[in-house]
């Protein structure tokens, strides 16, 4: 077993479900990404337009980088529900950073003097391009990275290194004529294959958008209150999603009673979702989403809780609670 094979074997030992090596170079879809930003399809995610030069080439982020070990960590398996699967577990950032640091320490035993840095979706890297270049998977029509035998329900991480490793070859496209993901999106967020307008994506609307959800899109969100898995649920490649994950699952979030969420004050919200990605939405954003979901469900049992929410300290919650009550009343 050569050193590159030993590195990939170590990745599996650390709990990653797949690992490949990519050469650090300009991203294949840098031009398409720039066009996407210019068209405003990133919505309010201004951070995605920062440092465009560094996004195009990871060696500008980590000077001297020659190779990248790209890894996938499986998400905990769970049934479809109002909270995206990835958020029904401990926050993946710390778990992956710890493992990437352990991987770096291992690489240094094979390549003394090597330097590296691990990244987990918090740095300007077009990580799906990097992963696809190294053969970890291909970018599907729903813009998710799909790995053979693994699917797309996983988190991506990268270890940039200043040593030259043998890159793995890309594997090419395997979506064929399938368009289930495109047709299943309730909000019509896909402009076409491989092009997502985030402004219509349920994940964007329930996580990244900080203000009011456009009224014309609220009925299309259904019962989703944080994120969305629909375009992945229908993907046939996810039939082989790994059954195990090193991340601790939160099964209490698989099928929660949405009405109960409206009784949470700030302290209760932080305690209930401590250590999960749901904190990213903040209480006001999360309860905004809960109100929309309850309005779409039209469950009269939610009326008392929504009436109380009309007096919430947050104007955003009050607005969406009133909308939900109108929906339940049939107006």
Read off the pLDDT of residues 224-282 as tens digits, 9 standing for 90 and up. 999 999 999 999 999 877 767 888 889 999 999 999 999 999 999 999 999 999 999 99
Q: Which residue is associated with the tokens 């994940």?
A: 203
Q: What is the mean pLDDT of the chain?
A: 94
Q: Which residue is associated with the tokens 């779409």?
A: 296
Within 157-280, where are the H helices?
A: 180-184, 202-203, 230-233, 258-261, 266-272
Query: Confidence class of residue 331 from pLDDT cuts 50, 70 and 90?
Result: low
Residues 6-33, buried b or exposed e (16+ Cβ, 10 A)? ebbebbeebbbbbbbbbbbbebbbbeeb
Question: Is 121 marked active-site?
Answer: yes
What is the distance between the alpha carbons of residues 83 and 175, in angstroms, rounded to a whole number?
Answer: 26
The CA–CA distances, whole Å, from 213 to 199, 219, 323, 329 equal 10, 10, 11, 20
Catalytic residue among 35, 51, 94, 121: 121
Closest-CA residue to 45 (of 228, 223, 203)? 203
CB 124 within 8 A of CB 54: yes
At a CB cut-off of 8 Å and minimum separation 6, what does 194 contact?
139, 140, 141, 143
Q: In degrees rounded to 5, what are phi and psi of residue 148?
A: -55, 130
pLDDT tens-digit series, residues 77-124: 888 999 999 999 888 998 999 999 999 999 999 999 999 999 998 889
Q: Which two tokens stand for residue 115?
A: 């330097």
Residue 32, helix vs strand vs coil: helix
Residue 177: its pLDDT value, please? 96
Whole-structure pTM over 0.85, yes or no? yes
* Mean pLDDT value across residues 212-217: 98
Q: Which two tokens stand for residue 36?
A: 């996407």
Cα dihedral 234, 277, 97, 31 sign: positive
């Amino acid at each position: 077993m050569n050193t590159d094979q030993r590195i990939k074997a170590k990745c599996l030992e650390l709990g990653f479900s797949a690992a490949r090596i990519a050469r650090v170079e300009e991203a294949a879809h840098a031009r398409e990404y720039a066009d996407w930003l210019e068209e405003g399809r990133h919505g309010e995610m201004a951070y995605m337009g920062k440092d465009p030069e560094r996004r195009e080439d990871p060696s500008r982020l980590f000077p001297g980088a020659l190779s990248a070990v790209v890894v996938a960590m499986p998400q905990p398996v769970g049934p479809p529900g109002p909270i995206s699967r990835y958020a029904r577990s401990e926050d993946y950032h710390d778990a992956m950073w710890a493992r990437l640091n352990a991987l770096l320490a291992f690489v240094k035993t094979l390549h003394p003097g090597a330097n590296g840095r691990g990244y987990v979706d918090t740095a300007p890297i077009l990580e799906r391009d990097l992963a696809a270049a190294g053969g970890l998977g291909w970018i599907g029509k729903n813009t998710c990275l799909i790995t053979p035998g693994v699917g797309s329900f996983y988190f991506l991480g990268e270890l940039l290194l200043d040593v030259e490793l043998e890159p793995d070859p890309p594997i090419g496209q395997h979506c064929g004529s399938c368009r289930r993901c495109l047709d299943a999106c309730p909000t019509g967020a896909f402009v076409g294959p491989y092009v997502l307008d985030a402004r219509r994506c349920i994940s964007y609307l329930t996580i990244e958008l900080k203000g009011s959800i456009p009224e014309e899109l609220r009925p299309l969100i259904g019962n989703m209150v944080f994120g969305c898995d629909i375009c992945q649920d229908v993907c046939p490649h996810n039939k082989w999603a790994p059954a195990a994950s090193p991340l601790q699952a939160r099964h209490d979030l698989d099928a929660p009673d949405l009405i109960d969420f409206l009784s949470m004050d700030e302290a209760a919200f932080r305690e209930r979702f401590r250590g999960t990605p749901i904190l990213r939405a903040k209480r006001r954003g999360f309860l905004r989403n809960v109100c929309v979901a309850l309005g779409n469900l039209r469950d009269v049992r939610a009326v008392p809780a929504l009436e109380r929410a009309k007096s919430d300290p947050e104007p955003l919650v009050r607005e969406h609670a009133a909308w939900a009550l109108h929906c339940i009343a049939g107006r």
